[in-house]
Structure 1
Amino acid sequence: MPAPAARPSPPVAVTRAGAAVSHAAAVLTRLRRARLFHPAGRSFAGEVTIWGTGGPPTGVALLDEPGRYPATVRLSKGVSTPGSWPDVLGLAVRLHPDDGRPFDLLVSSSGAPPVLRAMPLPRRRFAGTYSTIMPLHAGRRRLWLAALADPDSADLGRSLTAVAAATRTDEPRLVLAVASAVGPWRPFGQVSIGTQLSARQDATLAFDPIGNLPAGLRAAGPLTWLRVQTYRGSRRARGADVQSGGSLGATV
């Protein structure tokens, strides 16, 4: 059997552009002395329960098949506005499947209707709709993933301080859901937010929403390329490793 053809190298101009974007992100991160994106946040141990998708399967086993996984959860503010001021809020969830390959889901505050799920929207409350903003691809289909407010859960409040306080008295939950570009959200699981991690653990966490995707799901498009370069530069400037920053040890 012939050996598979080598993957072509990217054009020199693309390589140089990527290096320039990554370097700029690293410089800005050093000047900020914190993450380039969502610098203010709180991290927690958690658990993700997958019920499975109702209706047509997505073709992604991790979303379609029931399971329960330990998780690392981070809630954050995009530009670090004070207290309960409006901001683009962020939720990062790292699932730790049995195969040892983490799944990083990063979503931002957005609207629930189709026309708004692709737009980051500032808000005050941490319980609400979070969307991947950009679609992910499962085969030829485009999917949006989301975390939605659970009406039966303890409230997360309007500040990071309130979020941390809520986890000390209860285990707040958000509902995980999937949708097409125009279809309704279909719940497939939930994320439970548990014990708060230390400030040191929060500082070393480094998520990768492009590289850490489950089998059958991929990111594509020019904005994906831009995110890869900026995240890489920010991680390098912080000295953070995407795998060691909570891939296993932070929740075990």
Structure 2
Amino acid sequence: MPTVSPASAAGAAVVVAGAAAALTRLRRTRRLLHPAGRSFTADVLIWGAVPPTGVPLLDRPGRYRGTVRLSKGTPTPGAWPDLLGLAVRLHDTGDGPVDLLVSSSGAPPVLRNLPLPRRRFTGTYTTIMPFRAEARRVWLAALADPESPELGRGLAELTAVTGARRPRLVLAAGSAVGPWHPVGQVTLGDRLDERADRALAFDPIGNLPPGLRAVGLLAWLREQTYRGSRRARGASAQSGGSIGVTV
């Protein structure tokens, strides 16, 4: 974010969060961002990043209870193309809940910063914006596992193919121009009911793992927008924490 006085920054934050809260109320407490989705329990396995990212959670092998939410951004009807979202919450990390949010995009370096609408939930998801880990810029991604069942098109088909089939996604990290390096996998479990889905709330900036920082204007806008949306819904950045969840 450009250098501004603390008073101006605080005032701008109030305006942006307030606008997000007002728009959320127009949805009658539905989410402002990605209002239509499905949430699932999950098992998150971290293999350990090679080369290391500088983020301990990604660099050290571990296994975590998690929650996944797959969603449509607009949302468009049925299986129409949309900006798809994937949110993963890791529990029992020792540092509180960790939220990793990614959106449908392209895998090549030139497309990592570009949100791309699509029909199928199987595909590439990235953080769109880079993070800082030590002195490096890092992008995170969730990639299709070629040995996993397809996730389908549209929310109805997504629900039908999960459950006993246990689809998987590969977690990966990368630089601005290099290849993706797999760091772990997410296995979807049972679907959570609609009440649990409505109660979930993410913080894609405040709930990052230690060693990973969000910087820049886009990160600041995202932080204020999610904050305003949570406030209007009466949710906190920890909502859904007792059952393991997302966005």
What TM-score, normalized to structure 2?
Answer: 0.94
Whole-angstrom distance in 1 between the partners of 2:113 and 2:78 = 26
Aligned length: 241
Q: Secondary structure at the match of 1:229?
A: helix
Q: Is 2:135 the partner of 1:140?
A: yes
Partner Cα separation in structure 2 for residue 60 and residue 110 of structure 1? 23
After the TM superposition, which residues 103-252 of structure 1 pair with which residues of structure 2 at under 5 Å, given as runs? Answer: 103-243=98-238, 245-250=239-244
Give CA-to-partner distance per residue, 1:49-107, whole Å, 9 cap, x none.
011112x2111111011111000100000001011100000000001134151110000
Aligned twin of 2:34: 38
- Tell which structure's C-alpha radius of gyration is larger: 1
Deviation at 1:10, TM superposition (A): 5.4
1: CA distance, partners of 2:141 / 2:227: 24
For 1:16, the aligned partner's letter is: G
Q: Which residue of 2 aligns with 1:3?
A: none
SS of match in other structure, 1:46: strand
Moved over 6 A (4+): none
* TM-score using structure 1 length: 0.93
Q: Secondary structure at the match of 1:99?
A: coil
Q: Is the 8 A contact 1:201 1:250 kept in 2?
A: no
Q: Over aligned residues, Cα RMSD in angstroms?
A: 1.3
> Which residue is 2:12 aligned to?
17
Superposed CA deviations along residues 106-158 of structure 1, whole A, max 9, x for unmatched, are: 00000000000111100001010000000011011000000000110011000
1:24-72 alpha-carbon deviations (Å, 9 max, x no partner): 1111001122111100000010011011112x21111110111110001
Distance in 2, matches of 1:98 and 1:147, equals 19
- Percent identity at matched positions? 66
- Gap runs ≥5 in structure 2: none
Contact 1:103 1:213 in 2 (8 A): yes
**1:132 partner letter:** T
Mean Cα deviation higher: 220-229 or 101-110:
220-229
SS of 1:124's partner is coil
How far apart, in 2, do the equivalents of 1:32 and 1:187 lie? Answer: 38
